[in-house]
Structure 1
Amino acid sequence: MASEDVVGKTSATIANIAEEAKIASEGVKAPSRLALLGICKSLAAGGIAGGVSRTAVAPLERLKILLQVQNPHAIKYNGTIQGLKYIWRTEGLRGMFKGNGTNCARIVPNSAVKFFSYEEASKGILWLYKQQPGNEDAELTPLLRLGAGACAGIIAMSATYPMDLVRGRLTVQTDKSPSQYRGIAHALKTVLREEGPRALYKGWLPSVIGVVPYVGLNFAVYESLKDWLVKTRPFGLTEGTDLSVTTKLACGAAAGTVGQTVAYPLDVIRRRMQMVGWKDAASVVTAGGKSGGLEYTGMVDAFRKTVRYEGFRALYKGLVPNSVKVVPSIAIAFVTYEVVKDVLHVEMRISD
């Protein structure tokens, strides 16, 4: 009997241990699944925001690139309105949205990674800041948000840069180009075959340098403006109510204007460097304003030759359509991101 009692107690103990292990395991798995679901929802919200905002301004995006790279001695696009009319007259509706599929294929993952990276970088930077004595109750400051935005921009840009290069070339080519890229995959394969793997990252350095102030300022200005409006409630804003969509759009517009003005010259240089080595880029600008193969040897050389042959103003070619594009694009992206996160029931906000 004694041995049966021992066996019974041992069996009961083993059963209890197994039950506790099962409960503990389920307790670990549930939060992990919830965390993974939250990450997927956040990435989806960022991707949707990028796709919606970029499609809304696709014609202006194409015109901006055409203005950036056109030959100054064979000008076809002479301003925003004239340029859009010319594209419509010569290429029709499809011409207005040429390259947008490639653009969205790049911007959707880029935007998803950018927003998610910003949230994670914000949490990490704030945690490190709080470890310093006297900062235990600190909140995100504009400078910390700038740093988090810079980190997010670098990560997102590096992850999706080959798509940006291909998008630029697809956007620039016309029906009269000697050779045609037939789509994203064909363009990637052609660049790899004819120019090598390194060609997929031409212009990466000015892109990364430019993305630090651009994305950093976008997030810092947008979040800081929202934070200021919530705390001070100027312009008759009611205490205790959420900011309206219109107010958030205004914050996004201000953020886009500041960011793109600071970083725009680097965007021009990046776009020109991306055309280097493309033997069929005869319709775009070259070093010295000559048609044919581009001759920039690096970022500094591209800056120097652009200013020498075309003047300082050349660094801001396409700024007007870009400004008209960036203001609504950034605003729509931020607001869409927050709206989609509301719809998907994701509790965390960028500011949190």
Structure 2
Amino acid sequence: MASEDVKRREGVNKAPSNAVIGICKSLIAGGVAGGVSRTAVAPLERLKILLQVQNPHSIKYNGTVQGLKYIWRTEGFRGLFKGNGANCARIVPNSAVKFFSYEQASKGILYLYRQQTGNDEAQLTPLLRLGAGACAGIIAMSATYPMDMVRGRLTVQTDKSPYQYRGMVHALSTVLRQEGPRALYRGWLPSVIGVVPYVGLNFAVYESLKDWLVKSKPFGIIDNNNSELTVTTRLACGAIAGTMGQTVAYPLDVVRRRMQMVGWKDASSVITGDGRGKAPIEYSGMVDAFRKTVRHEGLGALYKGLVPNSVKVVPSIAIAFVTYEKVKDILGVEFRISD
């Protein structure tokens, strides 16, 4: 009896520690996935933001190829990756929280769904996965939004800007001092609205596509060694998921970026490059930003930067999903997103 009690206590003590280790491994996998995927497409990410906030009265970036060439010519190789350090500082915790939140939200929603249906073998439907993905996206985005806000400004500024943010910490402290705490969450509402279809569709489409492929088993899709989807197939699923999500949510991303520039006294010279163009329009809120953008620049302005973003989002999302699962395999985490 005594030995059984000791074993029982040891089991109870090990359970929490194993759970903590599992959580840490999951967060690490998500962080690595985010950092690797964003660094791989950093030049396209920077060009997308520059196109989104570019002053229409002083055009410098006119397309994907021309824009990348212009950055290379005027700022060199380092210019292509400007803001990537701040982006990784944001995306690593964001991605870690997002993937972990999705797993936890999926478990919780699946438990409630099985309780409601009375079927212990029930699986998540695409709609429930959409809800889990949306929850994960909102939690992760809200937790790291101030870093995203200053990252946008760090990405936009050039070597010729009259005032330089020296890094993420300096940018955060400067915005706090000059514009107040609320400025760090400027553009948060369109981000919340946009993250539902974007992140939600990413997870829902990715998971549903994989389930369908595993069940239908078309030729060449399944790895015969372990009866799982091949890496190439998972990359393709991630690419399709990313393309669908970003196309639906893109106008909200444009509005968010423009709202983040409001209140920045040097925004005009930063965006136009010479300070001679008309100053960027001020926005009082999300609806006002939509209205003024369409009125002054047309509906097409809501999709500025869509081409480099489309080129970027396909490999970015695909790399993130595959890296996440591979890192969890390496770390020995039993529960993976594909499970």
Report the TM-score, using the length of structure 1 for normalisation. 0.91
Equivalent of residue 236 in structure 2, options 234, 237, 250:
250
Equivalent of residue 255 in structure 2, options 269, 273, 277:
269
Are the equivalent residues in 1 in contact too, given 2:221–2:233 (CA < 8 A)?
no
Structure 1 residue 348: Cα displacement: 0.4
- Supply the distance in 1 between the matched residues of 2:196 and 2:71 (Cα, whole angstroms): 32
Are the equivalent residues in 1 in contact too, given 2:176–2:184 (CA < 8 A)?
yes
Are the equivalent residues in 2 in contact too, given 1:62–1:96 (CA < 8 A)?
yes
Amino acid at match of 2:236: A
Are the equivalent residues in 2 in contact too, given 1:87–1:96 (CA < 8 A)?
yes
Are the equivalent residues in 1 in contact too, given 2:198–2:245 (CA < 8 A)?
yes
Work out whether 1:109 is the aligned partner of 2:112: no
Amino acid at match of 1:301: D
Work out whether 1:225 is the aligned partner of 2:209: yes
Structure 1 residue 246: Cα displacement: 0.6
- Supply the distance in 2 between the matched residues of 1:125 and 1:170 (Cα, whole angstroms): 38
- Any unmatched runs of 5+ in structure 1? 1-15
Amino acid at match of 1:259: G
Partner in structure 2 of residue 195 of structure 1:
179
Shift in CA distance, 143/280, structure 1 to aligned 2, threshold 3 Å: same
Equivalent of residue 132 in structure 1, options 102, 116, 119:
116
- Supply the distance in 2 between the matched residues of 1:270 and 1:204 (Cα, whole angstroms): 7
Q: Kindly tell me the number of residue pairs found equivalent between the two proteins.
A: 332
Q: Residues 1-352 of structure 1 correspond to what in structure 2 (within 5 A)? A: 22-238=6-222, 241-283=227-269, 284=271, 291-292=278-279, 294-352=281-339
Partner in structure 2 of residue 7 of structure 1:
none
- Supply the distance in 2 between the matched residues of 1:297 and 1:135 (Cα, whole angstroms): 50
Structure 1 residue 292: Cα displacement: 2.8
Q: Give per-residue Cα distances to partners, 1:88-108, cap 9 Å, x unaligned.
A: 000001100000000000000
Are the equivalent residues in 2 in contact too, given 1:277–1:294 (CA < 8 A)?
no
Structure 1 residue 27: Cα displacement: 1.9
Amino acid at match of 1:319: L
Q: Give per-residue Cα distances to partners, 1:210-246, cap 9 Å, x unaligned.
A: 0000000000011111111101112443577211111
- Supply the distance in 1 between the matched residues of 2:333 and 2:167 (Cα, whole angstroms): 35
Amino acid at match of 1:92: G
- Any unmatched runs of 5+ in structure 2? none
- Supply the distance in 2 between the matched residues of 1:345 and 1:115 (Cα, whole angstroms): 16
Are the equivalent residues in 1 in contact too, given 2:221–2:230 (CA < 8 A)?
no
Shift in CA distance, 293/250, structure 1 to aligned 2, threshold 3 Å: closer
Structure 1 residue 21: Cα displacement: 5.9
- Supply the distance in 1 between the matched residues of 2:21 and 2:81 (Cα, whole angstroms): 34
SS in 2 for 1:132: helix
- Supply the distance in 1 between the matched residues of 2:119 and 2:286 (Cα, whole angstroms): 40
Structure 1 residue 138: Cα displacement: 1.2
